[in-house]
Amino acid sequence: MAAPCYLGWDFSTQQLKVIAIDEQLRVIYEDNVHFDKDLPEFKTQGGVYIHSDRLSVTSPVLMWVKALDMILEKMKSSGFNFSQVRAMSGAGQQHGSVYWKKGSIQILKNASSELPLHQSLKGCFSVSDSPIWMDSSTASQCRALEKALGGAQHLANVTGSRAYERFTGNQIAKIYSQNPEVYKQTERISLVSSFAASLFLGAYAPIDYSDGSGMNLLQIWEKAWSKPCLDACAPGLEERLGCPVPSHSVLGPISPYYSQRYGFSPDCKIVAFTGDNPASLAGMRLQEGDIAISLGTSDTLFLWIQEPTPALEGHILCNPVDSQTYMALLCFKNGSLMRERIRDECASGSWDEFSKALSSTVAGNSGNLVPRTRILATGGASHNKKILQVLSDVFNAPVFTIDTANSACLGSAYRAIHGLVAERNVSLADVVKLAPEPRLAVTPTPGAEELYRPLLKRYAELEQKVIYNPASSCLVK
């Protein structure tokens, strides 16, 4: 009999990724489908459509379903033994939303194993192109939501964030106001994460607390939908969202579709999927006092926190591995895009030249700013040691990396194991004891703290100018 294993999925912006780990937490399989390259028929750029107004950004829902079909067929061709999978969980790009048409639940439940899933589901979505985290077309809806809740700070006190244009509540409000008939024909609204879980479950999967707290709709303290927020966005919204659940919840067994088509065990369990940043927190095995920095399509800083105080910048989300605590998150939309632009303009398009330029710049950058705990780094740019050195010097802390840049995928696999034992009060930290420890990448340059400490005040002043100046190009996501 094959040894048990666990799957972690990541439905990210540009690709679908999967990772399998065994009971010793060793990676035994890894694969991906790149949307632009492997599914050219959808004609996406970077996995998305940027519309003519330059504000609306969407992705085709069926592309995600077809990518799942494709990656499962790749696994099957490689000889992967699906019957050994005991449980799976996954992640989705945060804030994206999927709109299921009335009657779709029966199609999802009864999909024929003779057909690829995308063929069965092609008529199931009332909105064919999902708004995603890059969308910034809902400014008027954000203003209306903050007004309805008594101001931006009060909304943040309730939901963990002031109104943000990409957040799901505001996207739903836009769809309701512009296309009320489309909204009327929608029986369920999923996040990308709960949508992906639904594909495996063969039923509508609930939204988990952690990803749900990135919607401007969830009361993060009570872990329930806020009625004033729901009412401000659209009528009948609570029934379309379903009840949120703890992030470690076992949702049920895998749909018979996968047992019949691929040979999954009928006993394989689906653990609630969550957002990609919460999943990365699990994958990096973040502990209280650590700072994690993901250097990817967007740059994200997050940390485990016990007693948060929501503010007008940044976000407070429910912790995906401990529902009694929280994670604080700062996100900058243009992380890798800005690094690549600087590389192209200042380093002849070469990462080697980029690294040499960083090395030749004195610590403190002659007073020019770049954006006391352990720092864990992940994401594509975490492979660049010179970038990590800057992080270490600015924060005056050692920087560690983990074996895989796919921390959301790995975290999802860890969460799949945790979901099976969480009800017995077993912590994620207990589950992942066998995982390899993060590796020390760099330590602060001697004297760097004295150079950067005086710059903190100036940085704070400049940040306020960027955030509150309407004419500025706001970097904060």
- Please state, in angstroms and rounded to a whole number, the distance separating the CA atoms of residues 169 and 192: 14
Q: Are residues 339 and 405 in the same domain?
A: yes
> Do both 113 and 146 map to the same domain?
yes
How many Cβ atoms from other residues are within 10 Å of residue 366's Cβ? 8
Query: With 90 as the cut, is the pLDDT of residue 432 above it?
Result: yes
Q: Shortest CA distance to 448 belongs to which of 399, 406, 402, 410?
A: 399
Average pLDDT in the chain: 90
- In angstroms, the CA 263 to CA 261 distance is 6
Asked if residue 431 and residue 386 are part of one domain, the reply reads yes
* Residue 77: inside a domain: yes
Look up the domain containing 335 and give its range. Answer: 278-468
CATH number, domain with residue 464 = 3.30.420.40
Assess whether pLDDT exceeds 80 at residue 344.
no
Strand runs (DSSP E) across 105-153, as ranges? 129-131
CB < 8 Å & 24+ apart, contacts of 119-123: 121/62, 121/65, 122/62
Same domain, 101 and 234: yes
- Average pLDDT of the segment spanning 291-320: 88
Say how far apart CA 361 and CA 346 lie, in whole Å. 13
Q: 179 and 308: one domain?
A: no
Outline where DSSP puts E strands in 192-325.
Answer: 218-219, 224-225, 250-253, 269-271, 274-275, 291-295, 299-305, 315-318
- Provide the pLDDT for residue 342: 65
Alpha helices in 5-113 (DSSP H): 35-38, 61-78, 104-109
**251 and 386 co-located in one domain:** no
- 59 and 127 together in one domain: yes
- Give tens-digit pLDDT for 119-130: 999 999 999 999
Mean pLDDT computed over 54-62:
97
- Per-residue pLDDT at 380: 73
Shared domain check, 287 and 229? no
Tens of pLDDT, residues 79-109: 999 999 999 999 999 999 999 999 999 999 9
Are 202 and 302 found together in one domain? Answer: no
Residue 190, pLDDT above cutoff 90: yes
- Can you tell me the distance from the alpha carbon of 324 to that of 266, in angstroms, rounded to the nearest whole number? 32
Per-residue pLDDT, 128: 98
- Is 156 in the same domain as 282? no
Give the count of alpha carbons within 13 A of 413, CB side only. Answer: 29
| In a domain? residue 84 | yes
Has residue 476 been placed in a domain?
Answer: no
251-267 exposure pattern, b = at least 16 Cβ within 10 A, e = fewer: bebbbebbbebbebbee
257 and 400 in a single domain? The answer is no
Residue 256 zone, left/alpha/beta (φ > 0; ψ -120 to 50; rest): alpha
**Residue 426 pLDDT exceeds 90:** yes
Q: Higher model confidence: residue 370 or residue 20?
A: 20
pLDDT tens digit string along 231-269?
999 999 999 999 999 999 999 999 999 999 999 999 999
Residue that finishes a domain, picked among 223, 241, 276: 276
Measure Cα distances from 278 to 216, 323, 467 in Å.
16, 12, 25
Tell me, yes or no, whether 475 lies in a domain: no
**Percent residues over pLDDT 90 in the chain:** 71
Question: What domain count does the chain have?
Answer: 2
- Among 255, 276, 297, which residue terminates a domain? 276
Instruction: Please tell me the distance from the alpha carbon of residue 285 to that of residue 402, in angstroms, as a whole number.
Output: 10
In this structure, the answer to whether residues 25 and 106 fall within a common structural domain is yes
